[in-house]
Chain A
Amino acid sequence: MTEIVSTTPGLYPLPDWAKEDLKTLKGNQKEDLISGTEGPEIEEAYEEVRTEFIDAQKAASLDRIVEGQGRWDDMIAHPLVVHDDVETRGIVRYYDNNNFYREPVVKGELSATGDVAAELSAAAEQVADGLQAVLPGPYSLADLATDEYYDDSEEFLAAIADFLAEEAAQFPAVETLFLLEPSLVENAPEEGEDERASEAIDTVANAIDADVVAYPYWGALEEKVYAHVMDADIDALGFDLVSNHDENVYNAQEYGTPDDVALGVVDGQNTLVESPETITERVEWFSEQTPQNDYGRIYATTNTETFYLPVNRFEEKLEALGAVQKAEVKA
């Protein structure tokens, strides 16, 4: 019997009041964005945001609860931008979206800041069980950043992996860790690099006692990359069925999967709200297409972060995910 677990990859849209208040409190130029040294008034606003995010997930009966990453102004580049030895430069495009983040430039030795751990500890006070951590995968974070300190890209990727592992080691007890790896699809690693990307995931996964989900999105992994990621010490691998279900199911058929999978079955970038029935059908479809795999657990999730959405539709999508018919899923 496959366990269906409803969750999200985090990075939620700020509530509309917080969009306004934080813009007023912080400003809307690039130098005004998050630095990790915010004053009490801004911190208080973020605490309220965190509580709203957690309450919305509880109300939707999601099985895993994320902190919501309201402070992540620079999306998944966030863990670097709050580091003292990282400088932020101009705003650059965030993958193929009409969204931008500040380019983080690494200027010195990377070591944990505890920034993400502090967010999670605050969330843990409000979440009795099912807390889920979210981090950028090491390959994606290295891809989004510019290195002006380490010798080469190989050393840089390893340093980023160690940095994320140190951050993860400071986390409070969490059930699950989602490692967001869109760059594995969007800027696929080349020969040799793919193996190192997999080892980098290992480094982070081994630093934490939680179920680790490597979650690539915006398409499917190239076959060689897929094969290498399968070698990593992960509990689950992600499949973005919204953007490309055919190639994703092909990978799963051809190369197998870990015991658990995370299926992106709700569109994180479109306001059309999927019904719980549609979500269930999509999960069932994947199971039926890959009968050779006996899944222990299937995470049902949005395919991407959800900050792309207006708040009303975002909340409706959480509710739809929470209402997915768990008992009826035939795996």
Chain B
Amino acid sequence: MTREQFRPDDHENDHFLLTTVVGSYPKPKWLHRARDLFEDEDSKFDAGDFEEAKDDAARLITQEHERCGLDVVCDGEMRRNEMVEYFAHRIDGYEFNGPVKVWGHNYFDKPSVVDEVEYGEEWLVSEYEFTSDVATQPVKVPITGPYTLAKWSFNEVYDDEADLAYELAELVNEEIEALVDAGARYIQIDEPALATTPDDHAIVGECLERIVADIPEDVRLGLHVCYGDYSRIYPEILEYPVHEFDIELCNGGYDQLDVFKEPTFTKDLAMGVVDIHAREIETVAEIKGNIKKALEIVPPERLTVSPDCGVKLLPREVAYGKMENMVKAAREIEAELDAGEIDIEPPAPSAGD
């Protein structure tokens, strides 16, 4: 069990629903201003000043997560600009040519792989070390997965995206080893691109085999996927060498919940219980209802409670409110489970599973 290590010493209930986040959190406005100043050539605000601002933001948001009562926290990705760009800037072999359209007037600096990819600058170790120094709770590290890094780049070098993804998987493995050496015990691999091309689930599986090579067994590995047709990747993903799947389900009103019931879900489930695309803060009662839906898939000892996805697009006070209510809801469900007031059984594994 990789999960029990995250139960707080003073946890009030016998049952323990691990509460955490997916990763990103709204940046304070002043951090955006600081970036603008740093990028303004006429400004005296230099690299050192910008680093200080990012440290301050990371400290602030890590503690904000702890104030919500979350069991496992992170720094809200205060140092990262975007989930592919951030890594591509640190990997040798990538180049940037300018923004490309995602939709309407929303753009993304989609990088090009123009040479063989190699480990360049360190990616996340210093981020992890800083956050775990600041935090009193355990820290989770979200890292963009190799399939998404490959899929959301232009590939000028490798024969196909799979080849590029496998090379990148070796680099992700190297980074995770360094993170583990630095003390990280909870790593979440983000593969949102899997939702857009579900037929490639075997490529993601092969990437994960490379990623987990030589990673100690007590390190908890999660995989986050979101906004897709899960019936096209389930049950195949149960073969993946990870402990936990973090899945967005709230936004769709749990219309895909049944996908995970047949065959029986055999991994730990981190289920989205608040919608990150809705600005209304869900009530504790509403979130409790959502958590109960997760209990139809896994028993409480295999359930992690989290938002659907990164919350960075929400106003900060809304993001905070959702996290706070989510934790309250989890604690109330735990107490009700302790008291035997909840009677939900996930389907038992059948002989065929």
Contact = CB atoms under 8 A, between A and B. Distances in A.
A13 B101 contact: yes
A96 interface: yes
A270 B97 contact: no
Given A98-B152, A272-B154, A22 B105 contact: yes
Interface string B113-143: 0100000000000000000000000000000
A101 B102 CA distance: 9
A100 interface: yes
B232 interface: no
Interface in A59-107: 73, 91, 93-94, 96-102
Nearest to A25: B105
Nearest to A21: B105
A310 B105 contact: no
Contacts of B110: 310
Interface in A214-265: none
A307 B107 CA distance: 11
Majority DSSP secondary structure for residues of B touching A: mixed
Nearest to B277: A90
Nearest to B154: A271
Interface string B66-104: 000000000000000000000000000000011111111
Most B CB contacts (10 A, CB to CB) among A33, A96, A271, A309 go to A271
Interface in B157-199: 193, 196-197
Interface residues of B, number: 22
B152 A271 contact: no
Interface size class of A (residues with CB under 8 A): 35 or more
B95 to A, nearest CB: 9
A196 B118 CA distance: 52
B112 interface: yes
B101 A307 contact: yes
A70 to B, nearest CB: 11
B43 interface: no
Most A CB contacts (10 A, CB to CB) among B151, B156, B193, B197 go to B156
A37 interface: no
A271 B106 contact: no
B155 interface: yes
Contact of B103 (A14, A16, A26, A91): A91
Contacts of B112: 271-272, 313
Contacts of A27: 105
A269 B151 CA distance: 12
A99 B101 contact: yes
A22 B105 CA distance: 8
Contact of A96 (B104, B107, B156, B196): B196
Given A30-B104, A270-B156, A98 B193 contact: yes
28 contacts: A13-B100, A14-B101, A16-B98, A19-B99, A19-B105, A19-B107, A23-B105, A26-B105, A29-B104, A30-B104, A33-B104, A73-B104, A96-B196, A98-B102, A99-B103, A101-B103, A269-B154, A270-B154, A270-B155, A271-B97, A271-B154, A271-B156, A272-B156, A308-B101, A309-B100, A310-B98, A311-B98, A312-B98
Interface of A: 13-14, 16, 19, 22-23, 26-30, 32-33, 73, 91, 93-94, 96-102, 269-272, 307-313
Given A16-B98, A270-B156, 13 more contacts: A19-B107, A27-B105, A28-B104, A96-B196, A97-B196, A98-B193, A99-B103, A102-B104, A270-B155, A271-B97, A307-B101, A308-B100, A312-B97
